[in-house]
Amino acid sequence: MTDDEFFEFAPEDRKAELIGGALVMSLPASDPHADRQGFLITILRAYVRHKRLGVVRGSHTAVHLQTGENYEPDVLFVAAHRAQIVRREGVFGAPDLVVELLSPGTANYDWGVKRRVYAQSGARELWLIDPNGLDGSAFFQRGETGLNEVAMEDNVLRSSAVPGFYLRAEWLWPDGGELPDEVSVLKELGVM
């Protein structure tokens, strides 16, 4: 399937991606997936806007890559100095930060071809987040050899793509099961 065919046939009301020349449709997100996506978009967007660092978008934003692939990551960030790649029809080039919340139906794509393509396309940071826990998650940051896996230090991940932004494991996987309120997190991040 070509890029033009993808945009002709892909529905606007469902998540659809062009992966390896094939149209891949996703099932609706589970509640843990949707909850974490909403949380991440809220705190990241507020932080980025407050600091005037760039643009944050969610899962219905098409990312058009030079490889011919078209993805719809759950969350993305494009730095202000690259904001020209964000257009009405989507993002044309690799975002600086890509967040994929893993789902049973698409995890193989996220871990495989999408991770490779994001690395080849120049993404600076990739988070593969398992809504069920840290053990199934991985974080990658750009190094000399591409996107290299990095570990949280003391259960904190410091973003290399979003200056000053960090993510605590307890925010995404709290002991009590309920995510923290975003206002508390934004206060800790110095936004409020």
Q: Please tell me the pTM assigned to this model.
A: 0.86
CA neighbor of 97 nearest in space, from 154, 35, 16, 43: 43
Nearest alpha-carbon partner for 65 in 146, 147, 3:
3
Confidence of residue 68 (pLDDT cuts 50, 70, 90): confident
Contact assessment for residue 35 and residue 52, using Cβ atoms and an 8 Å cutoff = no
Beta pairing, strands 70-71 & 156-158: unpaired
Residue 24 scores a pLDDT above 80: no
Whether the CB-CB separation of 173 and 134 falls below 8 Å is answered with yes
- Burial class of residue 180, CB neighbours in 10 A (0-12, 13-18, 19+): middle
Of 181, 29, 51, 45, the C-alpha closest to 106 is: 29
Q: Of residues 5 and 171, which shows the higher confidence score?
A: 171
168 part of a folded domain: yes
d(CA 72, CA 91): 10
In a domain, 112, yes or no: yes
Whether 22 is in a domain gets the answer no
**Position 115 pLDDT exceeds 90:** yes
Residue 35 lies in a domain: yes
- Give the structural domain span for 172: 28-188
Lowest mean pLDDT among 19-23, 168-172, 182-186: 19-23
Res 59: pLDDT: 81
160: in domain: yes
Q: Region 14-21: what's the mean pLDDT?
A: 69
For residue 38, being part of any structural domain is answered with yes
Provide the CATH number for the domain around residue 118: 3.90.1570.10
Q: Looking at per-residue confidence, does 68 or 93 come out higher?
A: 93
Instruction: Determine the Cα–Cα distance for residues 159 and 2; give it in Å rounded to an integer.
Output: 34
Residue 2 falls inside a structural domain: no
Query: How many domains does the chain contain in total?
Result: 1
More confident residue, 122 or 6: 122
- Quick check: 15 pLDDT over 70? no
Is 21 part of a structural domain of the chain?
no
The mean pLDDT of the chain is: 91
